[in-house]
Amino acid sequence: MSERERRCAGTNTSGEPCGAHASFVGPDGWCPAHAPGGRQRLREAGQRGAEASARARRAQGLDPDELPELRAPKDAQRLLELVARAVAEGRLGHRQGDAVTRTVRAWLVAHEQGEVRERMERLREQVDELRKGGLKAV
């Protein structure tokens, strides 16, 4: 029997032949639903899908009140710890966790650049003051 002609040996609830596509029919002549134990496997798969949907609905994200303001690197560390815990608990999806992590990383780079810029400006001011006082900069 060719691949095109292969039909499931099972019947639907109306007693008509199973309408499963030939590609779903195994070498034993049964589709996954009609194969021995198939109904139970499909029922279990449906339950797993329902549980996954329920987990996704429960993943409500983070409460804005629990988010620290980013003013210092220690705040970024606290936020990343909070995000890691929320992802592990299922309150936040891994994609959202990755997005927050990338955002915090960008904030840390910008924060560091700002600190370097401020340090450079303070050093320039000190050099200017030394020059005004008659000292030469090295």
Domain containing 9 equals 1-58
Q: Same domain for 50 and 67?
A: no
Q: Show the tokens assigned to 95.
A: 């994609």
Total structural domains within the chain = 2
Task: Evaluate whether residue 138 is within a structural domain.
Answer: no
Q: Show the tokens assigned to 119.
A: 């340090």
- Predicted confidence at residue 80, as pLDDT, reads 95
Model confidence band, residue 104 (pLDDT cutoffs 50, 70, 90)? very high
Q: Same domain for 79 and 123?
A: yes
**Mind listing the pLDDT tens digit for each residue in 8-38?**
888 888 889 998 888 889 888 999 889 888 8
Q: Which pTM was predicted?
A: 0.47
- CA 43, distance to chain mean position in Å, is 28
Residue 1 has pLDDT above 70, yes or no: no
87, 94 in Cβ contact below 8 A? yes
Residue 4 or residue 93, greater confidence: 93
Q: Same domain for 40 and 73?
A: no
